[in-house]
Amino acid sequence: MPYSKTFVCFANSRKTSGRCVAGKESIQGQPAGWIRPVSSRPTHEISLDERRYQNGRDPDLLHVVSVQYLSSQPLPHQPENHLIDDGYYWSQQGTLDFQNIDAWLDTPTTLWDPGYSGYAFTNNRVPDTVVATASLYLIRVPLLTLVVGAKSTDYPKRIVRGEFTHGRWPYSLAVTDPQVEAAYLAQPDGRYTLHAPLLCVSLGDAFQGFFYKLIAAVLYDERF
């Protein structure tokens, strides 16, 4: 039977031809488990038409969003997935105050299995045989360095990557937060720092034998 769930949006991230939207379920205003609305496409992204509100707006970070679903569709690396009913508009039920976000944070020891790096990043992937108990975390880091420049000498297109430390492990991950990407790609190549931001980190779909870790959203005071 179709059903609805309400969640606080912690990611509206660039993915293929659409977005990966995700957040934590809100039950009577209290945080519950993660939820990722997905489409029936092979890569599961949500189109603008599928995710918009009746007034045409796109869900933003910290919006409290109600969505209609057809079924739970967990994957071995993404147990939080739920297939949307695309016949319904999404509905904003409110907004979480950024000052009240601490209750919604996660405290994982590591971000999946460190030790696998590729494509000029650090600890940014795991083998696609991994079975994950969670593919999303909302964490606070002491410092985030946003690096703007070419992905590598073999790939000159400019990207934004985020460098940070979590626990004792360094990470360098691709940033897929559209607002942050746009803001920093408009700047000269270089290194830019944010102090004590929150990151929504996500384990993406398989590519050439690996699942890649992404910074799906960067949340900080000035943004809200």
The count of structural domains within the chain is 2
User: Of 72, 99, 126, at which residue does a domain stop?
Assistant: 99
| Judgement on whether residues 111 and 130 belong to the same structural domain of the protein | yes
Q: Which residues contact 197 (CB under 8 A, 6 or more apart)?
A: 140, 141, 144, 218, 219, 220
| Judgement on whether residues 50 and 145 belong to the same structural domain of the protein | no
Whether the CA torsion 185, 189, 193, 199 is positive or negative: it is: positive
| Judgement on whether residues 70 and 178 belong to the same structural domain of the protein | no
Rounded to an integer, what distance in angstroms lies between the CA atom of residue 133 and that of residue 80? Answer: 9
Residues in the chain, overall count: 224
Rounded to an integer, what distance in angstroms lies between the CA atom of residue 10 and that of residue 52? Answer: 16
User: Of 99, 127, 154, at which residue does a domain stop?
Assistant: 99
| Judgement on whether residues 139 and 201 belong to the same structural domain of the protein | yes
| Judgement on whether residues 91 and 108 belong to the same structural domain of the protein | no
Domain carrying residue 69:
3-99
pTM: 0.95
Token pair recorded at residue 148: 């703007």
User: Of 99, 120, 142, at which residue does a domain stop?
Assistant: 99
Q: What is the pLDDT of residues 135-180, one digit of tens each?
A: 999 999 999 999 999 988 888 899 999 999 999 999 999 999 999 9
